Structures are given as C-alpha cells and as structure tokens.
Amino acid sequence: MKNAFLNRNCQYLLLLVAFSFSSLTAQNYQKTALGVKTKLQSMDVEVQFYNPTIVRVLKSPEGVAFKKESLSVIKKPQQTKFTIQQQGDVILLKSEKLKVAIDVKSGKVSFNTLSGASLLSEAASGATFTDFNDAGSKTYSINQLFALDKNESIYGLGQQQRGKLSLRNAKINMVQGNVDDYVPFLVSTKGYGLFWDNYSPTVFEDKPESTSFKSEVGDCIDYYFVLGGNIEGSIAGMRELSGQAPMFPLWAFGYWQSKERYKSQNELVGVVTKYRELGVPLDGIIQDWQYWGNNYLWNAMEFLNTEFPQPKKMVDDIHNMNAHVIISIWNSFGPQTKQFKEMQPKGMLLNFGTWPQSGVESWPPNRDYPSGVQPYDPYNPEARDIYWKYLNKGLFSVGIDGWWMDSSEPDHMDFKASDFDIKTYLGSFRKVRNAFPLMTVGGVSEHQRAASADKRIFILTRSAFAGQQRYGANTWSGDVNSSWQSLRNQIPAGLNFSMSAIPYWNTDIGGFFAGAYKKGWGDGTQNPSFQELYVRWLQFGAFTPMMRSHGTDIPREIYNFGKKGEIIYDAIAKTIDLRYSLLPYIYSAAWDITNSQSTMMRALVMDFNDKKVVDMNNEYLFGKSILVAPVVNAQYTPETIVKSNEETGWNKNNDANGTKSQAVTFTQAKSTKVYLPEGTAWYDFWTNEKMNGGQEIEKATTIDEIPLYIKAGSIIPFGPKVQFATEKKWDALEIRVYPGANGEFTLYEDENDNYNYEKGAYSTIKFKWNEKFRTLTIGKRNGSFKGMLASRTFNIVFVDANKKAGIGGSSTFDKKIIYNGKATTVKE
C-alpha cells in the first residue's frame, strides 16, 4: 500500500510539474489589441492582424527598442476578431480567414488556411541579426528564410531584365538601377502575397532548401503576409496596404511620340502639326532634356535654352491641336540652378556621382570639367517643397500636362561603398536607398494634387518602389537596348512589375539605344532590320498601359519610315489606329484597376489553371479578354546581336552593323507558334475563327499584324476612328460579343480628366452575355456626369467566322440598339 501511495504521489507530482510547465509555456506571450508579442530564440516577435487576411510580422533582437514607420504601407490596422490558443509548443492565432502558428521551440511563424492547409512557413531558425555599423549608427544586417512548396510558383519583385517570368531558382540583387526597378513584394500560385518592408539593398534568393530576403540594414525584420486566394486577390491586398491607383486622364491612353531629344520649340510643335496633317492619331508629345540649357544648369525647370523662346506659346500651340505635352524633369540639379543654391546650404543634396558626369557634352565624359550635378534628398519634406516650388513656377504655370521624371532611381555612377554612408533626412542613404523613387514621385504627386484637382496627375517615371501606384505614375523600363532579345525581355519584365501591385508600366518602343542600326543607313529608319524590330515593338507597345515611342540615335516619328501606301508606314498607322479603337475597352480596364484593384497587363497564370503557362514569358492578357502574343523573333531580317547598355550606348562611334543588309520585302506571309490556354475557347481577332484552348497552334502572320485572340464569353466595345482620344463622343460604339461562355463587361465613362469621379461623377453600363439563352443584356446606366450622353447607339455584333473582323467599324451589325440608359435585352 505504501509503495502504491508513493507511486500515486509521484504521478501526481509529475502531472503537476507538467501542468506547471504547460501553464508557463502558455503564459510565454502577451496578447495585444492586434495579436501577440512573444520572445523566441533571443528575439522579440510580434504578430499583428491588419485585417482578417493581412498579417504583419515584426522581429528584433531581444530587449532592443526600435521605431519603424513604413514608407510604403499607409493602411492603419483595423480592429480584427481573433482567438489565441496554446497547443504544446505552438501559439495559434486565428481570424475568420486565416490561421497563424508561432512555434516557440523552433521560432518559426507559419500561415495556414482555416482548414489547416499550409500556405507559407518560415524555415526553422530562419531569422538572423548581424551587428552592422551604419554610418555610425548601431544596427543590423537582417535575413529571413522561408520554406516554399516545391511545386508553387512565385512572381513579382518589380521589373527585372532576366527574360524569365517565374522567380523560382532566382538570385536577385535588389538595388534600384536604370533598367531594373525593385519592389520587394511577391505573389504565389498558392494564393498569397509577401511584402518585405525594407528599403536597403536586399538580396532575394530562391533555393531548393529555402527562399530568403537578406537586407544590408534594418533595425527589425518587418514583413506582411497577404492572403488573396489567388494572384489578383493578393495584389488587391497589397494595394489595400500601400494605396490604390487613381485614374489617369483618357488622353494618357492614346499614342505618345518622343525621342532623345527635340532641340527646339519649333521642332516639338512641328511634330504635332505633321501628325495632324497626316491624319495619324496622336495624344501626346514629350520634351526630353536640355531645354534648360547647359549641364551646369541641369534640371533648372526653366526654358533657358534660347531655342525655346516662348514656352507658354509652345504649350498653347500644342493644346490648340488637341494634344498634350509632358516634359523631362530630373532628381538632381546643376550647381548654377536656383534649386541647387537653395538646397545646398540646408544639406539637402546627396554628394555622389550621377548623370551627367561632365559639364561638357561629349563622350566619353570629359572629367576635367565635372558637371557638379548632385541628386537632392527627397526623404526631406522641405526639400520636396522646394522641388515643387520651382516646378510649379517654371513649368506647371505654363500649362505642362505631366512630368517625365527621369533618373528617379537615381543614377548612381562612379559608385563608392562610402556613398551609402551619406546622410539623408531619414538616416543613411544605405538605409533608404531603394525607396528613392517612391519619395520623389510622391513629392511631386502630393504637391500637384494639393495645388489643383482640375488636371489629373500623370507622371512617367523610370523607377518605382512599393506603394508608388497611389501617386498617379506610369513606370517605363529604362534605357533598354534596341535588340530582339531586349524586346523579349520586356514582356516578363512588365508582367512581373504588374504582379508587384503597380499596374501601370510601359517601354521605349523600338528600344532606347539604336545606334547599331545606323551604319551605312543614314538615320537608320530605312534599315530593314530596324524597321522590322520597330514595328514588332510598336505592336507590343499597343497592348501595354501606355503606348509611347522613344529612343536615341534613330528618329521614331511615323513619317520618317515612309509615306502612306508603303508597307512599314501602313503597319505603324494600322497599329496606332487599333490602339485608338480599343480606348473604351482600355479606359474601362483602368476603372477596373481603380475601383476593383485589377491589373491591365496580366500574366496568363493569373487567369488560367494551366501548367503550361506558369512560366510563359511571351504571351499575356491585356485586360481580361485579349490574349496578346507579340512576334518577338525576326522573321524577315537576320537577328543582329546588338550589345550596348546604359553606359556604353551613348558612344555614338560604336555602331555595330558594318555593312548594309540585303534588300528586304515585307510582303511575304510568315508564321509563329501561339499557345492558347486551356479552360476556354478562343477567337482569332483578325479572322474570327474559333479554336479550343489547351493547344499550341501555328499562326500565319504579316508585318502589320501580330497574333491576337479573344476569350470566349468576352464583350468588347470598339470606339470611333479619331485623331485624338476625345475627338468624338462614344455615341455609336460597336459592341462585339464573342459567344462560347457566359460573360460580362462594364463600360466606364467620366469627364475624362479632373477628379470629379472621386465624388461620384461617372457612369457605368454593364453588359451580360447569357450563353444558354443567347441573349445580351445591357443593364441600366448607373451614375451620371457633366456632358454624359443621354442617348446613344450600340451596334451589336455577335462574332462568328463568317463576319468581318479586325479593327472596329464593321460594315454590318446584327442589331442596332438606341440606348437611353434603361435596361434592355438583345437576342442573337
């Protein structure tokens, strides 16, 4: 009996110890209003619910206080219901959408669905802090490892010129550059997004055993997990965190002509005049650098060049031809500018090498006469005020319509490691380096919006960072080389950028550095090798959020390539006309971005559960209906290998093509392979032929057409033939219905400029196609705005292979509907 009693007491004591340990473990966290705080492996860890689907994770060395205010995230955490349970070594938090598990033994945080399916997990012992002296401030280099599923695909991280779509097995050194724009946000085919909220140089690396972010400096590890359900939902979550994209004016979606550079006021206005004389559509002209004069006056934001004697008249002349003008502004200033002289005594300039390196225009730069140009400190709110003061006085006041913010990363030349020690308003340049474009673009955007709501902000910028979509900016891919490989690279570059939650992107049509095509060809415009590349690039550019022709060495205006009736000229004109016919579709897609967090340039993996498209880098959807398969290989000319970059490209003596190519005829039909994703049927845009998805086809092509396919169930409006976007009201739209599946489309209209749409001044009309009953329902018009059409005509076309296809303007319609804003149904 005595032994039995002792055994029972021992068992009791063991249970008591176990219970006490369990209770102690259970108490090893502190509940907060947003989640929990705990200590793991010599780290303070905090998990915060920003809403039921967005979770923030903060880590820092134990006991080390820090203060972190995000530059990208503007959302404040909302009150979210959640529960906390302790299950052994795991602290389990659960919202109505998501489970978060904190393993107190291994230190890892993981994210799971409510049913327990794994979404993302940190690798065990995956967080490290390494002491780092950041220009005299004690901080850390930080690293976080994650464990991804072998079969998931990830995308985003901004724009890279890798030529690949998927980020698996990639190592990317994320430091902003001329042709690389880094955004530390990725999305997964498992339906989540991950935002690494750090602004210092960062290495992303995906290996079979782990995926990691390693940043040079950080007082803490700070990342956000976004449960989106799919890629588009994850993008929407990132925009909820970092800001929504406003509407651009309708004219921003027309055709833009530019080059490096128009050298006089008369030349700039003359280009617009010539387009109007030719009847070729044009909405915008861009003035590149040097309108301010010499390099010592770099970016003076004044027309000091004597070739621009009447800037107000210049702008008025362009406006009187119903076109718009944007102008090059930079993020650095020459030593003789008013901005430099005001900012320098206040410590608002960053003293490192930037463009231009010489005060004398020559190549290579004459270092005996340094330009003295220095970037400004956009992290400093007073510096941003000064920047806008001169921009407003010198350029906005004369009616300039938008800003071309060049070198917004900025150019960092003659790099020295000590440059990162330079002090900014927010600490070392190292600490905030990658956020430079966000701060400088944001400074202009916020000031203009405060000054005027009559004109929508339109900024064309060379670089971007997380959150920049909220500033009315369209990012271009930098000074890319003029080559077929460069063209091929632009497609995955634009798609990954778009999947980084920033929806507006474009590229220099034809490539920027094109001097290699001039040797023996005068200005290069009659070189068949360049003609073919340019036309194919233009056709791709017609299906990007901004259609803009630009480059150096070879002029890009249509009339330089020939005249009406000649094959290259006609191919260019046809492509521009196609862009304009799609403006109702494009403008409605822009509203879908602003209103529903959508994406215009869509990787096929966003919309199709098809293993063959997870790494497809040469096709995409434009909007949700048009499959674009650009021709990205030379078909008529040899594919010349051209090697230059943003440094060597300025050497005008380094032209690569030493001999003229043989005469080329572009009349012969060629062919290219196109993959049609499974899960839907597709219509050939040019022929209306219907084909099943899930197959690769051989598509016949000509120099004036690229493969375009329309998804079954699509409803697409086509606008009138115009010379500029707002020339004609949309009072007689052609509405094409592509049968084969149920579908819908919402036509959006507003006042085309200003911000009245934010006050409800817009209208929407929803079109629905019922495949079973073969009926098109045109819904009641919702909303109103000044100048809205009270009555209009919809010319309905039910597409099949026996009807005319191609650019809008069918001669035969199936139904002609007079629409007065009331719902109506049309039977096929």
Beta bridge partner(s), residue 106: none
Amino acid present at 207? K
At 362 the pLDDT is 83
Can you tell me whether residue 240 is helix, strand or coil? helix
Please report whether residue 675 resides in a domain: no
Please report whether residue 526 resides in a domain: no
At 12 the pLDDT is 41
- Residue 51: CATH number of its domain: 2.60.40.1760
At 662 the pLDDT is 66
Can you tell me whether residue 144 is helix, strand or coil? strand
Structure token pair of residue 669: 């039909």
- Spans of the chain below 70 pLDDT: 1-27, 652-662, 809-811
Please report whether residue 535 resides in a domain: no
Q: Find the Cα–Cα–Cα–Cα dihedral 715, 719, 724, 727, rounded to 10°.
A: -130
Residue 318 is given by DSSP the state H
Alpha-carbon distance 188 to 425, whole Å? 35
Q: Is the dihedral of CA 666, 669, 673, 678 positive or negative?
A: positive
Residue 148 sits in which domain range? 14-242
Give the predicted TM-score (pTM) of the model: 0.95
> Tokens 């098809």 belong to which residue?
610
Residue 487 · residue 529 · CB < 8 Å: no
Please report whether residue 300 resides in a domain: no
Residue 711 is given by DSSP the state E
Residue 358 is given by DSSP the state B
DSSP string computed for 90-143: EEEEE-SS-EEEEETTT--EEEE-TT--EEEEEEEEEEEEEEEEETTEEEEEEE
Active site residues: 406, 409, 479
pLDDT tens digits for 378-424?
Answer: 999 999 999 999 999 999 999 999 999 999 999 999 999 999 999 99
Residue 391 · residue 444 · CB < 8 Å: yes
Alpha-carbon distance 558 to 380, whole Å? 43
Please report whether residue 512 resides in a domain: no
At 14 the pLDDT is 37
Pairing mode, strands 459-461 and 402-405: parallel
Please report whether residue 677 resides in a domain: no
At 812 the pLDDT is 80
pLDDT tens digits for 305-324?
Answer: 999 999 999 999 999 999 99
DSSP string computed for 637-661: S--------TTGGG-TT-----SPP
At 811 the pLDDT is 60
**Residue 596, by phi and psi: left (phi above 0), alpha (psi -120 to 50) or beta?**
alpha
Please report whether residue 330 resides in a domain: no
How many alpha carbons lie under 13 Å from residue 77 in its C-beta half-sphere? 19
Question: How many Å is the maximal CA-CA distance in the chain?
Answer: 113
Residue 432 · residue 438 · CB < 8 Å: no
Q: Find the Cα–Cα–Cα–Cα dihedral 608, 610, 614, 617, rounded to 10°.
A: -80
Q: Is the dihedral of CA 755, 757, 761, 762 positive or negative?
A: positive
Alpha-carbon distance 737 to 347, whole Å? 61
Count of structural domains within the chain: 1
Q: Where are the alpha helices (DSSP H) in 548-672?
A: 567-581, 583-596
How many other C-beta atoms can be found within 10 angstroms of the C-beta atom of residue 426? 16
At 22 the pLDDT is 39
Please report whether residue 161 resides in a domain: yes
